[in-house]
Structure 1
Amino acid sequence: MAALMKNEVFSCFAFYAVLLVIKMYIIAIITGQVRLRKKAFANPEDALRHGGLQFHREDPYVERCRRAHINDMENILPFLFLGAIYSLTGPSLAVARIHFFVFFAGRVLHSIAYLFALRAPTRSLAYTVAQIPCISMALQILTSVAAYA
């Protein structure tokens, strides 16, 4: 582990990876808080504990928050894999930092656009921008390991 942390690119990746995981937790907490505020519970036992089975229901804003969280999982988890492997291929620190920051900024903007229902095309643009570094890292990883396959 100490050797990995001496790798400046991996340390940079670890910094952004942890920020992204914290962001995912924040979205999960927001979803839970919105559920409580809107009294819209996914499970009957939660509804019973908070006022009755009539609160075992869906709410459009709770569903929006939940979809934002699911979208994070669908996109951040692959980034964590790609970024870790990419970090080990010996890329330039400056280039790697751009990859990691662009993905992070795109995902933060995507969540903001999702939660606040910002007008199109903000959310889809943020999604697309965040995919560019992932595609770039994937291609660079494939190029680096192609000789060994």
Structure 2
Amino acid sequence: MGNLDFGNPVFATYAISAGSMILLVVATAWITVVQMMRHKGGFRAPEDLRKTPLNPAPDPSQTAPLEPVERFRRIMQNHLENIPFFLVAGFLFVLTDPSVQLAQWLLFGYAASRVLHFFAYASAQVHDIRATFWTVGSAIIIAMTVMVISAAISAL
């Protein structure tokens, strides 16, 4: 089994990919907030309608769904339904001691598929494009998980 440190190129590949995915999720949260501020709406909670320096003229319509905000909320939901599985599966995959080339193809491939999915969703591309990028990422998670299970069974 490879070492879990940055001297191990497989672990370093995982760290880059995982870190990139964490930054993507956090960036999506910030983009959602920027959209809410830009459009002065799409707020969720009743207390968001209180008068504040950032919302000097609250209006009840500000809690109505607003498509530019909801789009990024949907992207965030999709991230939260997929990326945690990658973080776990990718880490366990590192423990199988794969070749560096295989690890880079799978781990960087997953990260690329999610970034492309983000841009396709953010730019309102047709479902088929988003679904293609999602499918690539999902297939990578499945492949890594099968390799993890196989390695674990072999170790018994």
TM-score, normalized by length of structure 1? 0.92
TM-superposed deviation, 1:43: 1.2
Question: 5+ unaligned residues in a row in structure 1: which ranges?
Answer: none
Higher helix share: 1
TM-score, length-scaled by structure 2:
0.88
Counterpart of 1:101 in structure 2 is: 108
Contiguous gaps of at least 5 residues in structure 2:
none
Give the counterpart letter for 1:4 in structure 2.
Answer: L
Q: Is 1:115 the counterpart of 2:116 in the alignment?
A: no
Determine if contact 1:44/1:53 at 8 Å carries over to the other structure. no
Task: Number of aligned residue pairs: give it.
Answer: 147
Please tell me the residue identity of whatever aligns with 2:46.
P
Counterpart amino acid of 2:4? L
Any runs of at least 4 consecutive aligned residues in structure 1 with deviations exceeding 6 A, and if so which? none
Partner of 1:25: 26
* Corresponding residue of 1:36: 37
Q: Decide which of 139, 142, 146 is 1:139's aligned counterpart.
A: 146
Q: Percent identity?
A: 31
Q: Which moved more, 1:111-120 or 1:22-31?
A: 111-120
Query: 1:25 & 1:134 partners in 2: Cα distance?
Result: 21
Other-structure match for 1:13: 14
Residues 42, 66 of structure 2: 8 Å contact kept:
yes
**Deviation of the 1:40 alpha carbon:** 2.0
In 1, Cα distance between the equivalents of 2:104 and 2:115?
16
RMSD of aligned Cα (Å): 1.4
* Structure 1 SS opposite 2:43: coil
SS in 1 for 2:4: helix
